[in-house]
Amino acid sequence: MILPIAVIIFTAIDVGRTGQVQNRLTNAARAGGAVAQTTPGWVDPGCHGAAGIEDAVRRHDPGLGSEQDFSVSVETSDGTPITGCVDDVATTYDLHPGDEVVVIVTASIDMSTPAGGMLLGDPKHMTARYEVVVQG
């Protein structure tokens, strides 16, 4: 009688955990988006003294880096990846003030129960996208 109750409780914990991680991903993507508005070419870690987009994401929520398969990517509105640490993003990626840039943060988490894994997928892959407009 205790086993089914325990399975239900731990499955509910897995569902809650996925919601929590999704919120954390969304907030971290927003932090990266704040940097991307003014410096969309500063993507890589350590860019300009750790002032890059990925640095902002990791600083916002350092615990996300402990999730497996955690990654940050930046792309133009048409899906062209933006990489590196370039100052003149307008020349390199043909971006100008008013263009949109998308910050994408992904992570995967393992479920703690087989029921949670069957319900949500194990590991559970989650993505948060945040679109910003490049400022002039």
* The pLDDT value given to residue 116: 67
Of 101, 112, 109, the C-alpha closest to 134 is: 101
Among 31-35, 75-79, 88-92, the minimum mean pLDDT is found in 88-92
Contact 45/71 with Cβ under 8 angstroms?
Answer: no
Among 29-38, 65-74, 98-107, the minimum mean pLDDT is found in 65-74
Average pLDDT for 57-74:
82
- How far is residue 85 from each of residues 45, 46, 51, 59, 92, measured CA to CA in Å? 9, 9, 10, 18, 11
* The pLDDT value given to residue 67: 59
3-state secondary structure 117-132: HHHHCCCEEEEEEEEE
Return the sign of the alpha-carbon dihedral for residues 38, 93, 45, 70. positive
8 or 19: which leads in pLDDT:
19
* The pLDDT value given to residue 7: 77
Average pLDDT for 47-53:
88
Per-residue pLDDT tens digits for 78-113: 999 999 998 887 778 888 889 999 999 998 888 777
- Residue 90 φ then ψ, to 5°: -65, -40
